[in-house]
């Protein structure tokens, strides 16, 4: 592992500690105390980082599809779709951050610092919504739509891969669930965009 400069090591180590991941923090800072026996860092990583991040990525990737594509279909203006997409991704990110942070203080469930979890969820929600919004900066609507379709497909495969890797969900089931949810939202976008 390449060591970041000492000042950054201390900051990153504190972030890992706030997330409840002392093993990762200890790799950067040897003064971090050893975890109590039986502390399962891999499970904590899944509960405190992967699960909140995945929830955000899924929400951002799926919930923002309807407003973005409905706007593109209805207005035929890619820049309007971009603005709506950015607003949707931002609003969804803020909403999911608060929802995650306020739903569980982490004491009963062991899911770690609620502010950190909320931050991870909010950031990943924004990212999930913003990625398929960026193609609408392309002035040609058909090219923008095609590019956005490809980005959405990649996002859904990434979500399925994370579910498969960390939660043991089979590829087939994961793809069916994720693509099924995306298809329902896209159908809503199509109906409202052509109303």
> What is residue 31's three-state secondary structure?
coil
Record the tokens describing residue 32, joined without a space.
């971090």
**Cα separation, 108 vs 114, whole angstroms:** 12
Residue 98: pLDDT above 90? yes
The answer to whether 24 and 119 are in contact (CB under 8 A) is: no
| CA–CA separation, 160 and 44 (whole Å) | 21
CA 48 to chain centre: 13
Q: Which value, in Å, is the radius of gyration of the alpha carbons in the chain? A: 19
pLDDT of amino acid 133: 97
Q: What is the pLDDT of residue 1?
A: 46
- Indicate the helix (H) or strand (E) that contains 67: helix 65-75
pLDDT digits (tens, 9 = 90+) for 31-71: 666 655 445 777 778 888 899 999 999 999 988 999 999 99
Q: What is the pTM of this model?
A: 0.77
């Amino acid at each position: 592992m390449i060591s970041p400069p000492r000042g950054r090591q201390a900051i990153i180590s504190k972030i890992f500690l706030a997330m409840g991941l002392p093993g990762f923090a200890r790799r950067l800072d040897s003064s971090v105390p050893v975890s109590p026996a039986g502390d399962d860092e891999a499970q904590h990583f899944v509960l405190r980082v992967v699960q909140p991040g995945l929830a955000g990525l899924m929400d951002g990737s799926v919930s923002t599809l309807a407003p973005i594509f409905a706007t593109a279909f209805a207005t035929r203006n890619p820049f309007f779709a971009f603005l709506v997409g950015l607003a949707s991704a931002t609003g969804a990110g803020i909403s999911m951050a608060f929802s995650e942070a306020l739903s569980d203080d982490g004491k009963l469930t062991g899911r770690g610092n609620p502010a950190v979890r909320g931050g991870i969820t909010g950031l990943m929600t924004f990212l999930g919504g913003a990625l398929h919004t960026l193609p609408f900066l392309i002035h040609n609507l058909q090219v923008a739509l095609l590019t956005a379709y490809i980005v959405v497909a990649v996002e859904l495969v990434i979500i399925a891969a994370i579910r498969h890797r960390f939660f043991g969900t089979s590829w087939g089931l994961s793809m069916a669930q994720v693509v099924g949810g995306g298809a329902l939202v896209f159908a809503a976008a199509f109906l409202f965009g052509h109303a």
